[in-house]
Structure 1
Amino acid sequence: MNLNKSEIENLERKFRLNLINSITGVKPANLIGTKNKNGQENVAVFSSVVHLGSNPAQLGFILRPQESRETDTFKNIKETEVYTINHIPEKLIKNAHYTSAKVSTEISEFEKMNIQKEYLNDFFAPFVKESPVKIGMILLSIIELPNGCKFVIGNVETLILNDILINDLGQIDLETTKSAGISGLNTYYSLTKLDTFPYVRENEIPEF
């Protein structure tokens, strides 16, 4: 396959959707938990969480255009300015995937998809109990992207994971956590560590 821009645009819609969503490779699989001011909880699967900075600790994720229908995730984050990001463990991928369904606000995906929730550190939004890495976020900014999507940026308020999952350098072993990855919209992968390399300085580059 060797496609130019015009040929990509003329692909059958679903084929193009799946292809372009897959070309970046495996992405992190996360469940984002929110709650509105009336106490109604929501959790939804996302594969767009990215690291933005370490000092201050900031993460971002992308929401689809919200003009025709605002999702509960978007409404709740705008309303309360708090949310959680939770790694999806391999054993929870089916339950997590079905949170992508459009259900009414009155229905909690935690209950509908049998995903256990928990509240930790007096944080307002719910965490996913079975998640090996739980992150409590405070909203910083919502940026409108050129394609109409929303880029949600937040500060890390709290981080919860077992000490045995972190090495002496502060690196999380994602193979040990059994966190899942996503390719495209609906294909899930397990993560296997291949190797670890040092921080690279010019005088330390080996011969290849």
Structure 2
Amino acid sequence: MLINHEDIESMPHLYRVAFINSLSGFKSANLVGTADKKGLTNLSIVSSCTHIGAHPPLVAMIIRPHSVERHTLENILATSFYTLNQVHAGIYRPSHQTSARYPKEVSEFAAVGLTEAWRQDFAAPYVKESKISLGMALREHHHLSINGTELLIGEIMQVQLPSECLSQDGFVDIEKAETVALSGLDSYHRSQRLARLSYAKPDAPLSEIE
């Protein structure tokens, strides 16, 4: 089956959205915790977080066009701080519910039954129920003219995770935290590791890391 550009352009809108969003494979599922300058909190699920670099530790995130109210984006631009909270198998249903369009005066934390957690005077709320959470500081913001989306690049300032998920070599075992993956916009998946493999070299065979 071959689907060309003309076929994609002729797809009904919602069909095309589901189709294109499914093509990039499994994506991370994170809850973005923010607060405005008055302390009103907001929580939204995103599947567009991407590792940018380790030194400095950077993570990029795409937010849809600011053509309507985007409380997450507005709060981050106002305060420069936010949290990324990995979704795990125990909270994927209320996490998905945060994608509903609640009015600004309604905190998604309360609306979906998740708990605000404030740590070390950090200026954005964490999700208490999340097992792996990052405290982020905004470093760059770019408007992408190609489709009107907003690119945010943040630096990791804090990390909260279970000690049993951290290996001696620095590897974070997100599977132990039951972190789930997203495909498309609404399909949640558990993971099953095949193997950790050694650093690839042209003159050495691969080996598995225990």
TM-score range with shorter-chain normalisation? Answer: over 0.9
Q: Which residue of 2 aligns with 1:96?
A: 95
Residues 115-194 of structure 1: matches in 2 within 5 Å?
115-145=114-144, 146-194=146-194
Q: Which residue of 2 aligns with 1:14?
A: 14
Once residues 200 and 19 of structure 2 are traced to their aligned partners in structure 1, the CA distance between those partners, rounded to angstroms, is 34
Question: Which amino acid counterpart does residue 45 of structure 1 have in structure 2?
Answer: I
Once residues 51 and 153 of structure 1 are traced to their aligned partners in structure 2, the CA distance between those partners, rounded to angstroms, is 10
Q: Which residue of 1 aligns with 2:104?
A: 105
Question: Which amino acid counterpart does residue 121 of structure 2 have in structure 1?
Answer: D
For 1:141-196, what per-residue CA distance to the aligned partner results, in whole angstroms no more than 9, with x for missing partners? 11112211111101111111111101111111122110111101111001111111
Shift of 1:13: 1.5
Q: After TM superposition, where is structure 1 displaced by more than 6 Å over at least 4 residues in a row?
A: none
Shift of 1:23: 0.6
For 1:113-140, what per-residue CA distance to the aligned partner results, in whole angstroms no more than 9, with x for missing partners? 0011201122110001111111000001
Q: Does the 8 A contact of 1:35 with 1:125 survive in 2? A: yes
What TM-score does the superposition give when structure 2 sets the normalisation length?
Answer: 0.95
Q: Which residue of 2 aligns with 1:204?
A: 204
Question: Structure 1 vs Structure 2: percent identity of aligned residues?
Answer: 34
Once residues 21 and 120 of structure 2 are traced to their aligned partners in structure 1, the CA distance between those partners, rounded to angstroms, is 36
Name the SS of the counterpart of 1:100 in structure 2: coil
Question: Which amino acid counterpart does residue 74 of structure 1 have in structure 2?
Answer: L
Count of residue correspondences: 205
Q: Normalized per residue, which structure has more helix?
A: 1
For 1:21-64, what per-residue CA distance to the aligned partner results, in whole angstroms no more than 9, with x for missing partners? 00111101100000001010000000000000000000011000
Once residues 185 and 59 of structure 2 are traced to their aligned partners in structure 1, the CA distance between those partners, rounded to angstroms, is 21
Once residues 72 and 171 of structure 1 are traced to their aligned partners in structure 2, the CA distance between those partners, rounded to angstroms, is 33
Structure 1 position 70 matched with structure 2 position 69: yes
What RMSD in Å do the two structures reach over aligned CA positions?
1.0
Name the SS of the counterpart of 1:94 in structure 2: helix
